[in-house]
Structure 1
Amino acid sequence: MSRLFTIYRVLAFVVGVLLVVGTIGSVLKYGLSDGGSLDQLGEDLTPVWLVHGWVYMVYVVVAFVLTQRAGWALPRFLLMMVAGLVPGLIFWVERRVAGQLRAEHPELAGA
């Protein structure tokens, strides 16, 4: 696997996990305002959004470089960007990107 492709896959997984954890934290924080332990857990998970934001910015740069090297059109890059903002979607998009990259550009995927 090429280094860029590996970095993309790791970042996609990290962004996806942080997005899901942050979403769960927000649901607990704002959906359960009873002051219980789950509400406190939601409050404790708030910094996950900060980490997600920073990692997401790196992910966007890596996704852009990857799409440029693969010669892909802007809509594919936009789908990769949006995937980092919708909980769970990034896992599906990452699998599609990996499959398409392996099929179209095996030299970038290291296959």
Structure 2
Amino acid sequence: MKKALTRYRVMAYAVGVLLIVLCLVGVPLANFDGTPMWAGDRIPTPNWFDDGSRPDQFGHWITGFLGTLHGWLYMIFLVFAFSLARKAEWSMPFTLGILAAGTIPVVSFWAEHKATQRIRSDHPEEFRAPEPAGVGV
């Protein structure tokens, strides 16, 4: 159970950090150039960065490269989270909530915390600190 929890936690943090970088750095840099974000949209985005500027190019690199990396890592996260859910015998609603949490910035960290708390409370024998040598002799 410890190894499954560690794999899950590493992937939850990786996916969560990448999603925050994408949403709070990449998307504004790449898209906030004063043009509409969606075709046919009459409301323009804020004009923070000119189209083709260095920040705009960096934003496109973030959304392209890190966006793809996030997508692949999210698939691995789903496998690890589902594996942990099966081993821990979580209910389907709790499992689906944990799986979906990786799609919402910041919420993934809260979900990782809740999942870790639940594993540690449901399986305390696996997370008990070992007694120091010579105690109880």
TM-score of the two chains, using structure 1 as the length reference: 0.89
Larger RCO, structures 1/2 (Cα 8 Å, 6+ apart):
1
Alpha-carbon distance in 1 for matches of 2:123, 2:78 = 20
Quote the residue 2:79 is aligned against.
Answer: 61
Root-mean-square deviation over aligned CA pairs: 1.6
Structure number with higher helix proportion = 1
Alpha-carbon distance in 1 for matches of 2:125, 2:15 = 25
- Aligned-partner SS, 1:87: coil
Letter in 2 for 1:41: F
Alpha-carbon distance in 1 for matches of 2:67, 2:113 = 24
State percent identity of aligned pairs. Answer: 38
Quote the residue 1:40 is aligned against.
Answer: 57
Residues 46-85 of structure 1: matches in 2 within 5 Å? 46=63, 47-85=65-103
Aligned match of 1:94 in 112, 122, 127? 112
Q: Which moved more, 1:99-108 or 1:54-63?
A: 99-108
- Aligned-partner SS, 1:72: coil
Contact 1:4 1:66 in 2 (8 A): yes
**1:34, CA displacement in angstroms?**
1.4
Contact 1:2 1:107 in 2 (8 A): no
Which structure would you say has the larger Rg? 2
Letter in 1 for 2:14: V
Q: How many residues align?
A: 110
Structure 2 residue runs without a partner (length 5+)? 34-48, 129-137
